[in-house]
Amino acid sequence: MPQPATEDLRKCIHCGMCLEACPTYRVSGLETESPRGRIHLMQALLDGRPATPDLTIHLDRCLACRACETACPSAVPYGRLIESTRAMLQERKPANPWLLWLFGHPSRLRRAFGLLSLYERSGLRRLLHRTGVASRLPQRLRMAEGLVPQMRPRFSRDSGGVVMPRAPMRARVGLLTGCVMRESFGDVHDAAAALLSRAGVEVVIPPRQVCCGALHAHGGDLQGARELARTNVMAFSEAAVSAIVVDSAGCGAHMKHYGELLADDPEWADRANLLADKTKDLSEILLPLAGQLRFGPLPLRVTYQDPCHLAHAQGIRAEPRALLRLIPGLELVEMREADRCCGSAGIYNLTQPEFSERVLDLKMADVVATRPQAVVTANPGCMLQLRYGLERVGLDVPVYHLAEVLESSALAGDELRR
């Protein structure tokens, strides 16, 4: 049975440095809603304490944002601890068995998004909002409705293929299409592929790739996460690429840990480590190639939200900002605590709507203070959550993915050269 490692738990010296870094502690002030408190609960489970609802609710309320890892002076691997604890609890009583059923099968997810598209195209969504019915729904249903993605174009290379470089070839990379990104943020993938192509990179989209498995791992379904990881390891191995580019922070963070996920599988461990080493965030790949990109003016005042799994899990903060500062006319205004979680955290905003909204309210206060014309981030869950938050506070500004902003500027550069 999976369980948190005793040596990992013992690294915690109970200093409390994690408390103010933890969003759920910030909104509740409760020790049980802090990383330190949750580590006590994990140890209690190992010592034989029953996994009662009164105990597990505090573990369920963890965002797994890993801000505590950044603050911790003892290098406690909290992300690994919370995932292994949830896996232990999942084996006793599965919490979200529909995760693998839905996200692990692209055809099912496509049908689900088809229903969401019908809900929007039919006018029913506009009617619910115009009449005020949406605002009177129960909290969980109201938040779920508010997080329904806008129906955006699907990825133009959805079935796989190759995007050829538009400049002298410098590299050949694979692009992860994922699950939600593939279905609802295809234009972000198109922008990412276009930017790489402009920089002289050949982009391969392996047709047999699947969901990265991050949601499964975060929810404790390690078996499902491993099944998906093996499929992706095979798909990208066949593509023979030098790097795997990911434009979703949560997916990238998870894939960089494929080696750890499959460490006990002798058939797959080495290949998983190789894939993990090759996995790069889009900004990691683009910044060294920025000299090949010609950005045009984009007069826009923006603020940047650090996705948790980009800033805390991958340690990537400077690259997105450096790329934004290359855009002529763009003003980047830093918000306070830009790396504090927005409350999205995979499906957390659906399973823990009350805490999610309380965390989001803190984030919105910081966003509003920057008086932005747009908010930029680099993760689909953050994009949906921030849009929902902006609507709640009545601030009518768009939320863009970093790739969208960069490609818009590159297109403006094309216009200047004509």
Which pLDDT tens digit goes with each residue over 71-105? Answer: 999 999 999 999 999 988 877 665 566 656 666 66
Domain 161-286 of CATH type 2.60.120.620: no
Tokens matching residue 90 = 């999942």
Nearest residue to 356 (alpha-carbon basis) of 78, 103, 139, 34 = 139
Give the count of beta carbons closer than 10 Å to the beta carbon of residue 269: 16
- Could you list the beta-strand ranges (E) of 189-260: 201-205, 243-246
Q: What angle do CA 402, 405, 408 make, to 5 degrees?
A: 145
pLDDT for 157: 77
The model carries a pTM of: 0.90
Rounded distance between C-alpha atoms, residue 154 and residue 30, angstroms = 43
Rounded distance between C-alpha atoms, residue 336 and residue 369, angstroms = 9
CATH number of 6-92: 1.10.1060.10
Q: What percent of the chain has pLDDT over 70?
A: 85
Rounded distance between C-alpha atoms, residue 60 and residue 75, angstroms = 22
pLDDT for 66: 96
Q: What angle do CA 250, 45, 80 make, to 5 degrees?
A: 25
Find the range with the poorest average confidence among 2-16, 17-31, 138-152, 195-209. Answer: 138-152
The domain ranges of the chain are: 6-92, 98-146, 161-286, 294-417
Confidence of residue 131 (pLDDT cuts 50, 70, 90): confident
pLDDT for 140: 63
Q: Does the pLDDT of residue 1 top 60, yes or no?
A: no
Rounded distance between C-alpha atoms, residue 280 and residue 274, angstroms = 12
Rounded distance between C-alpha atoms, residue 198 and residue 189, angstroms = 14
Tokens matching residue 370 = 């920057």
Contact between 312 and 69 (Cβ < 8 Å): yes
Q: Does the pLDDT of residue 160 top 60, yes or no?
A: yes
Residue 161, amino acid: G
Find the range with the poorest average confidence among 82-96, 162-176, 333-347. Answer: 82-96
Domain 294-417 of CATH type 3.40.50: yes
